[in-house]
A and B are shown apart, each in its own frame.
Chain A
Amino acid sequence: MSLLNPFNKRPGLNTATVLLVENEEQFQQSLANVLVEETAVTVNVRLAKTLPIPMKNDESRPRIDLVVFIINLTLDKSVKSAKASLKYLDPGYFLGKVCFMVTNARQALGCTGRLDAVRQLAVSLHCPLLFAEDQTPEGVTSSARRLLTILKVASGLVPNTTALYLSNLTRCAMPPDIDQPSFD
């Protein structure tokens, strides 16, 4: 069982590959449908429930440029499974090739603990945190568009920009504690 490595395969020509990891396997389907409609670049989408992924078809699998963890904030299991899957990624991925996508943030407003935990995770790993709306087609389209921007940079298709550079611009930051006294 080996880790997913970002650089152990040759990249494809004008191709970007993204791996969507979601425990519930709902949003990834609709997101994948929208992502594939992109015409400027050949987008390969791979879906997975958790990591590690089996090594059976490792030969045919292209190099994965971006790993997206889709977390449903209303389910605790989602967060746990995403955290558990993180172990199976080569550390090279965390230099800008991992992204967290969070759904149902509005319904989860009551229990902010989960959102804070996910945010803390994103901050500690220096990964961007995207909020997605998965119920309406417009929401799916807009989140797919955002993901596509990050994907294009992560696969090296945008000149003069690398994933590492972009990660500095898109890193998640913890909001300051409200209880702390503000500077006067």
Chain B
Amino acid sequence: MRDGRIEEILGLPPPDNVLSQGQQPPTPTINSVGEALLPPYQVYTVARHIVTLPLLRVLTSSEDPLKLRRFLTSSRWFDLLHMDASDNTGSLKEMVETVGQNGGPAAENCSALEGVLPAEMLRIKQQMSNQCFEMAVQLNAGKGKRSCSTSEAERELPNFVSELERAKGVHFNSTLVLHRLQMWHAIGEKMKQAGPDAAVLKTVSDRCMALCSQIKQLQIENRNLQNEITEIQKQRLEIKRLTHEKMKEMEGLMSSKEHPEKYNAVLEKGLSNLEKYKKMTIVTQNVLRGILLACKVNWLDDPTLRETVMTLEEFPISE
């Protein structure tokens, strides 16, 4: 018996009365892989590998539940996805062949699976497909090798990870949409049957629709308000920026007023220039006045001369 053989290697006696998984008490032993060969550390004595064929295939093909259970306990591991790898298919094929020849284990093994529900089986099937996927990835990793340095790989890694996450997001959303569609289709079908539940279903679905449209309205409102808030924040930032610039200008001016050192030299030069030209003008005006007085020129009659003489009055005589 295959199962007995495995347990002998492990050093545990084959059980006479196998309880279901949930009821078996743990028999812990520690395996310290060193000098001593102790039996492995396990919770359940279900050390025999209970591996299964693809559950879908089994579920569709065998109607008899007892046969199903026998199948599940005796059949060997088989890949759900095709595995083209040469290292595994050889041994797998011969194992699949021995399944048919295997007369089935003793009846005691069937009781081990009494607690298995369909949900449990689906969960295990999902696990198996995940494990197969991992193995398939590992096998395909060797193919299509291209040489690149580790730094290049490091640089590309975040891109790949983000792409993966994006794909996961899309997949999740699509699955969600699919479930929703399926559910509504099922509800629609049920309502068409016009049974006693139909009226209840109709009221519930009407309420759902009303709530959904309300939600949509609120979401639109929310979005508009958010946009307005964003606009106002933008304006605020703009004003803040302008204020900041004006403050800087003011500070520049204040500092230049308090520290006019740079302008002092220029200012003095300008003032001295002004003084010089002022003196020149006064001297010229005095000379003109003297000439007019000395020659007894009649300046009242000539309009241009009169204007010139009027401007002489601007600067006082002695300066």
Q: Which residues of A contact B (CB under 8 A)?
A: 6-7, 10-14, 25, 29, 32-33, 36, 42-49, 53-54, 56-57, 59-62, 92, 155-165, 168
Contacts and interface: CB of A to CB of B under 8 A. Distances in A.
A48 B28 contact: no
B44 interface: yes
Contacts of A158: 130
A61 B40 contact: yes
B134 A36 contact: no
Contacts of A48: 32-34
B66 interface: no
Given A47-B31, A47-B41, A61-B40, A7 B77 contact: no
Nearest to A162: B134
A13 B50 contact: yes
B9 A60 contact: yes
B42 interface: yes
30 contacts: A6-B138, A10-B49, A10-B51, A11-B77, A13-B49, A13-B50, A13-B51, A33-B28, A36-B42, A42-B43, A42-B46, A43-B43, A44-B41, A45-B31, A47-B41, A48-B33, A49-B32, A54-B34, A56-B37, A57-B33, A57-B37, A59-B9, A60-B6, A61-B40, A155-B131, A159-B126, A161-B130, A162-B130, A162-B133, A162-B134
Contacts, number: 93
Interface in B12-54: 26, 28, 30-34, 37, 40-44, 46, 49-52
A56 B28 CA distance: 21
Contact of B131 (A25, A59, A156): A156
Contacts of B26: 36
B161 interface: yes
A42 B42 contact: yes
Nearest to B129: A159
Nearest to B87: A8
Interface in B129-166: 130-131, 133-135, 137-138, 157, 161, 164
B10 interface: yes
A161 to B, nearest CB: 8
Contacts of A57: 9, 33, 37
A156 B127 contact: yes
B41 A46 contact: yes
A163 B43 contact: no
A157 to B, nearest CB: 5
A29 B130 contact: no
Interface of B: 6, 9-10, 26, 28, 30-34, 37, 40-44, 46, 49-52, 77, 124, 126-128, 130-131, 133-135, 137-138, 157, 161, 164, 168
Contacts of A7: 135, 138
User: Which residue among B33, B49, B124, B164 has the maximum number of chain A CB atoms within 10 Å of its CB?
Assistant: B33
Given A47-B32, A158-B130, A165 B41 contact: no
Nearest to A65: B131
Contact of A159 (B127, B135, B164): B127
User: Which residue among A25, A43, A168 has the maximum number of chain B CB atoms within 10 Å of its CB?
Assistant: A168
Contacts of A14: 124, 127
Contact of B134 (A32, A45, A47, A163): A163
Contact of B30 (A11, A32, A92): A32
Contacts of B130: 156-162
B79 to A, nearest CB: 10
Given A7-B138, A159-B130, A168 B157 contact: yes
A129 to B, nearest CB: 18
A53 B161 contact: no
A14 B21 CA distance: 12
Contacts of B40: 44, 46, 60-62
Contacts of A62: 40
Nearest to B154: A126
Nearest to B160: A168
A29 B41 CA distance: 11
A59 B37 CA distance: 13
A54 B50 CA distance: 26
Given A13-B49, A36-B41, A42-B44, A49 B34 contact: yes
A36 B28 contact: yes
